Structures are given as structure tokens and as C-alpha cells.
Amino acid sequence: MAEDLIDVATARARVLAEARPLAPERVELAEALGRVLAEDIASDLDLPPFDASAMDGFATRAGPPEELEVVGESRAGHPAARALAPGEAIRISTGAVVPDGAEAVVAVERTETVSHGGGQGPGARERVSVPARGDGDHVRRAGEDVRGGETVMSAGVRLGPAEVAVLASLGRAEVECGPRPRMAVLVTGDELVEPGTALGPGQIRDANVYALAAQAERAGGRIVGRALVRDELEATVAALGEAIELADVVCVSGGVSVGPHDHVKPALERLGVRERFWGVALKPGKPTWFGVHGSTLVFGLPGNPVSAMVTFHLFARLALEHLAGVVEAARERAVARLEGSLPRESRRDQAIRCRLETRPDGWHAWPTGSQGSHILTSMLGADALALVPAGEGELAAGERVELELLR
Ligand code: AMP
Ligand code: MG
């Protein structure tokens, strides 16, 4: 492995080459948050669908100050019964249809009721005095937001609250979305016990099932299996075989090196999973393994929890997103200025956990302390991974670094 490490970009390209989008499915809008859109959305109507009032007040013709007779009302959802004629006003609410014949809306605060001839009875005539107003004042024009026929969203975007809201206003009760890729998480290690279990000699608690399953869910994956596997070849073969049957993506952590108790690679070989890479010029994350079995993608991630999380974020998350249909151009990219210098590694890129702060000149990134791959708390408070390219000397304070956002 050490001889033929590939760089991060090459490794990611190999993941992308294998991650073909899964067949889309129809999803109810109320369930669509976080899904990836699998169709272009063209509007079949104008938004707003009609000229609407932006104020509570009176709909009128444009013109000089004058006194008008109030002849009806247009409320939100209840248009006026008739059109407006010269000399008339129609009481109107925000969001109500501007009646035919009206050209402007006058805010109620700028008007004065001048008479209530006839009291409240059937003969009551309400008159209102209005100031000068121009054509279109306080009128929201039909189509100002969206024009009928316009494409408002493209396949490949992840649906956030705003996208869901726009789809609702376009009347889409269902949308075509990429499915949530099925993900199985296995961890290997005789030293591992579940949280909630007392520690025996030499034991530690398994952090990686929790880390990787949480990351997968954040990335839009659906967990279909999680297991803690002992450092035995047969057990590893059995657990991996089952996971490959169940899942679109399998992540297995630990046991992926060449020690006498590392069984992941021999097990994958036995199962016929075809290797696409093993060994990335990355710190942390060197012993990362990637291969395919039919349409299932398998990642062998290092056991150290930080390494597992970093490599999940850089490689497995990419796979989950692409299976779900994310278009590469829609992915978030960012840069920041580095606070404090960092020694470079001559042969490996580094993924430095950073806290971000926004300043007038953009983002600034502070490393979150010790960067050892076993220092899991260095992930606490980390907003991003700063990618420091391999090279000699140090990356000086103030230099720009590329970011992979963690949140
Ligand atoms: P390995 O890759 O199996 O050699 O493991 C590398 C290091 O990561 C060892 O110190 C393991 O104890 C630790 N490790 C492996 N798996 C986990 C896990 N699931 N949770 C926490 N630490 C782990
Ligand atoms: Mg191990």
C-alpha cells in the first residue's frame, strides 16, 4: 500500500466512477425534506397567480386625491363580486385579488372614512377620502415571483425548507426524488464494547458505529444494518456478506491493515469484492480501502475514530450523495483563511479539523487543537475539514485553504 498511495482527488474520482444514481421514486412533499430532486421543476402557473394587494386598504383607479364610494370588499380567498368603476373604491386585504378595473391600492392608514350616510342599514353608503396614487401602487403583479413555464429548480439539488416551500406554492403534492441509499455500518475489533457495557481490561467503547451511522443519516442515507464484528475471518466474512446483500453502501471500520488480526481485506477478497483503491495519500486516513460488489459500494475505513469520520466524509458521503442523485455542481464548496501556520506533510494531504468564524473578508479557520487521529474530541466544535495539500515547509498563516464543510 505504502508504495502506491493515490491522492484524494484520484480516490474521489474512482468513487464517483462507481456511484451511479439509484432509480428515482415519487415522494410526498411532506416527506421530501433532505431528499435529492430527480426532475427539473417547471412552473405550470404564474406566482402570484393573480394581481394581489400588498396592503390592507382600498383598491382604486390611479388618480389625484378624491373621495370615493366604497362598493364592496375583496378579502383573501374571497374576491370582490364585481369590477370597480370610476368614483368607486373596494375595500381590500393583503393577498386579496385586485378587482378588475382597479389600478392601485391605498393603505388604510392613508385614507379617511368621510361619511356613513344612512347608518348601518341597507341604505348605508360608505365613502372614503384617498390621497393621490399611481398605477400599480401596492399591487403585486401576477408572475412577479415565478412565470408560468419557467424552470425554477433543477434535478440534483437537495431539498431544503425553501425548496419544499416553493414546490408547495407550485402545487406539487409529490416530487420525483432520488431514494435514500441503504447503508450498512460494521465495526471490527475485539477490544470494542457497546456503550452501556462496563469496560474490561484492554477494552474501549465502540464510537464508530455511532459516528458513521450518524454521518450517513446526515448525508441522506438510511441505515439498514449495524454490527460489531470480532477479529475473526469467518465472522468478518459472514457479517460483510450479509451487509453487501442488504445495502447500497457498506462501511466497515478497522481491521483494514495487514496485521495478523486484520481480516477485512481477506474477507472482502473471499466475497469477491473488487478493489478500486487501497491507500490514500491523506492524513488521517491512509489505509482507506474502496471496492465494488455488483452495485454495492464497499468502504474499508481506518479504525481510529477521527480517521473513520474524515474518510467517511471525504469518500463514503460522496458515494451516498451521488447514489441519491446529487449533481456535482450543486455540492457546497468553500475556502477560508488559515489562522496560524500548519506544517505540511511532504507526501500526504491533510484534513485538518477547523472551527470557522465569519469575518468581513470571508471565513477564517482555526484548527481545533491536537490533530491526532485518536483524538476524537478534536471533532467537537469542528465546522469543517481544511484540506492542506502535500508539500514542503509550512502553510503560512493567512493562506487560503479549501474546506469540506461538516455541518
Ligand atoms: P484498526 O484499524 O483496527 O487497527 O484500529 C485502529 C485504532 O482504532 C485502534 O486503536 C482501535 O482500538 C481503534 N478503533 C477501531 N475501531 C474502533 C471503534 N469502532 N471505535 C473506537 N475506536 C476504534
Ligand atoms: Mg482492529
Which residue, among 380, 387, 379, has the nearest Cα to 404 in the 3D structure? Answer: 387
Is the CA virtual torsion 328, 329, 333, 335 positive or negative?
A: positive
What is the reported pLDDT for 329? 56
Whole-model pTM: value is: 0.90
What is the reported pLDDT for 339? 95
Rg (C-alpha) for the chain, rounded Å, is: 31
Query: What mean pLDDT comes out for the span 115-123?
Result: 60
Q: CA 338 → CA 309, 358, 387, 404, distances in Å? A: 22, 12, 11, 14
Burial class (CB in 10 A: 0-12, 13-18, 19+), 359: exposed
Judged by its nearest atom, the ligand closest to the C-alpha of residue 302 is: 1
Domain 2-22+179-330 and domain 52-140, same fold? Reply is no
Residues 6+ apart with CB under 8 A from 89: 58, 59, 60, 68, 69, 70, 71, 106, 128, 130
Name the superfamily (CATH) of residues 333-405. Answer: MoeA, C-terminal, domain IV (2.40.340.10)
CA 349 to chain centre: 26
**pLDDT tens digits, residue range 310-324?**
999 999 999 999 999
Residue nearest ligand 1's atom 3 by CA: 254
What is the reported pLDDT for 371? 83
Asked if the model's pLDDT at residue 39 lies above 90, the reply is yes
Cis, bond preceding 284 (omega within 30 deg of 0): yes
Which residue, among 49, 58, 197, has the nearest Cα to 138 in the 3D structure? Answer: 58
As assigned by CATH, the class of the 52-140 domain is: mainly beta
Mutational test site, ligand 1, from 304, 306, 379, max ligand atoms within 8 Å of CB? 304
Contacts of 260-267 with CB under 8 Å at 24 or more apart are: 261/190, 261/231, 262/231, 263/188, 263/231, 263/232, 263/233, 263/236, 263/237, 264/188, 264/236, 264/240, 264/289, 264/300, 265/289, 265/300, 266/233, 267/233, 267/236, 267/237, 267/240
Task: Judge: domain 26-47+144-178, CATH 3.90.105.10.
Answer: yes
Residue found by looking up cell 456478506 in the block: 241
Report the share of the chain in percent with pLDDT over 70: 96
**pLDDT tens digits, residue range 180-208?**
999 999 999 999 999 999 999 999 999 99
Element spanning 291, H or E: strand 289-293
Mutational test site, ligand 1, from 194, 197, 199, 204, max ligand atoms within 8 Å of CB? 204
CATH topology of domain 2-22+179-330: Molybdenum Cofactor Biosythetic Enzyme; Chain A (3.40.980)
Domain segments of the chain as ranges: 2-22+179-330, 26-47+144-178, 52-140, 333-405
Mutational test site, ligand 1, from 185, 188, 192, 215, max ligand atoms within 8 Å of CB? 192
CA 238 to chain centre: 35
**Cα–Cα dist 116/211, whole Å:** 71
Query: What mean pLDDT comes out for the span 347-376?
Result: 93
Q: Which atom number of ligand 1 is nearest to the Cα of residue 287?
A: 2
Ligand 1, CB cutoff 6 Å, lining residues: 187, 189, 191-192, 204, 206-208, 253-255, 257, 302-305
Single-letter amino acid, residue 74: S
Tell how far the Cα of 66 is from the centroid of ligand 2, in angstroms. 86
Which residue, among 193, 209, 189, 310, has the nearest Cα to 250 in the 3D structure? Answer: 209
**Cα–Cα dist 235/238, whole Å:** 5
Tell how far the Cα of 254 is from the centroid of ligand 2, in angstroms. 5
Q: Which atom number of ligand 1 is nearest to the Cα of residue 209?
A: 19
What is the reported pLDDT for 402? 95
3-state secondary structure of 213: helix
Q: Which atom number of ligand 1 is nearest to the Cα of residue 188?
A: 16
Q: Which atom number of ligand 1 is nearest to the Cα of residue 231?
A: 3
Query: What mean pLDDT comes out for the span 359-366?
Result: 96
For 220: left if phi > 0, alpha if psi spans -120 to 50, otherwise beta; the answer is left
3-state secondary structure of 253: strand
For residue 214, give the DSSP letter.
Answer: H
